[in-house]
Structure 1
Amino acid sequence: MWIYKYDDQFIYMPGEELNVNENDVIPENYTEIPPPLESYIAKYDPRSRKWKETASQNYIDSLKTKPAPNDLELLKKQNALLSKQLTKLLAMRKGGTSE
């Protein structure tokens, strides 16, 4: 069976799992209760024998990456930049400036 390690503050330590026999004594700071699959900072409660998420929403959001812009968004940005450059070039040709 697999057992899962947590530190002195009961925070799950990924990569520290051990595979032990059913009759083996579970070492200190380990539990046979698996942490949630989709957790960021799982904390074990030995009294209730359950894991809970302790990461703040700000922390979770900071780990998420923004999706890349789609082709239409990229074309809109390029069009805006090219329009601005064209306006500047036309203004320079007429002898004025456009800022």
Structure 2
Amino acid sequence: MWIYKYNDQFIYMPGEEKLMNEHEKMPEGFTDVPPPVESYIAKFDPVEHKWEETATQEYINNLKTKPKPNDLEILKEQNAFLTKQMVQILRDIKGLKSL
């Protein structure tokens, strides 16, 4: 059976799982209860014998990456930037002509 490690604060330690024979004694800091598949900071409750999610929504949101813009979005941004530059250049030229 697979066992899952948690640290001294009962936080799940991903990658520290071990395969153990059923007749062996459970080592300290491990449980046979699998943590949630989609968890960020899972904490084990030894009294309830279950995992809880302890990550805040802000922490979770910060981990999510923004999708890369597609080609059309990039072109729109470049077009807006160039249009803004062109307007500024035309204003500068108009100001020089009036001198």
- Bin the TM-score by the shorter chain: 0.7 to 0.9
- 78-87 vs 37-46, which deviates more? 78-87
* 2:2 aligned partner: 2
Residue 41 of structure 1: aligned partner: 41
Q: How far apart, in 2, do the equivalents of 1:13 and 1:92 lie?
A: 61
- Percent identical: 62
Matched positions, count? 96
Q: CA RMSD in A?
A: 1.4
Q: In structure 1, give the amino acid aligned to 2:71.
A: D
- Give the partner amino acid of 1:51: W
Describe how 1:31-70 pairs up with structure 2 within 5 A: 31-70=31-70
Q: Distance in 2 between matches of 1:54 and 1:91?
A: 56
Distance 1:45 1:87 in 2: 63
TM superposition score normalised by structure 1: 0.88
Moved over 3 A (4+): none
Q: TM-score, normalised by structure 2?
A: 0.88
- Between Structure 1 and Structure 2, the one with more helix by share is 2
Give 1:18-37 correspondences, 5 Å limit. 18-37=18-37
CA–CA distance in structure 2, aligned partners of residues 27 and 72 of structure 1: 56
Which stretches in structure 1 are left out of the alignment for 5+ residues?
A: none
Structure 2, unmatched stretches of 5+, are none
